[in-house]
Amino acid sequence: MRWRLETSLGYKWTHALQLTNVFNQPVYTMIFATDAQPGNKIMSSIYKSARVKGIPELQSQAKAIREKKRREGKGLFTLFDPGASNIKTQEYVHTPPWRPPSHLAADVPIDESPPSGEADETESWPSPDGS
């Protein structure tokens, strides 16, 4: 995606921030694209802050809540909250996008009509009155 944003659409910089769950499995990736140096500098700073502080804090809070619910579900209550566990922080480092493998389609049509042999959306879905 970043490769195409830079080469096809001509953005100068793209930044990707992958968000993961408490088991470090990817949930989604946010991509920021810009031509402006101030935007590049600002997003680099925001993504660095998120990777080092924000995301690990939220993950450790989510983990603590999950562990508390499990303990209380088993009838194990504590007088003091043990607090959130430490989650390893990860530094954000901007890496340039890489060219996708050549076996992928070179161009992916976005706004083209379907070929004449395929039914379009109006033919494949019934109208609200059931017809």
One-character DSSP codes across 72-101 = HHTT---SS---PPP------------PPP
pLDDT tens for each residue of 90-125: 677 777 787 877 765 556 666 666 566 555 554 555
Q: By C-alpha distance, which of 38, 55, 37 is closest to 92?
A: 55
pLDDT at site 49: 83
> 3-state DSSP helix/strand/coil percent for the chain, to nearest 5?
35, 15, 50
Higher-pLDDT residue of 105 and 69 is 69
pLDDT at residue 35 above 80? yes
Sequence spans of domains, the chain? 2-92
pLDDT at site 34: 92
Higher-pLDDT residue of 50 and 126 is 50
pLDDT tens for each residue of 45-62: 888 888 777 888 888 888
| Model confidence, pTM | 0.52
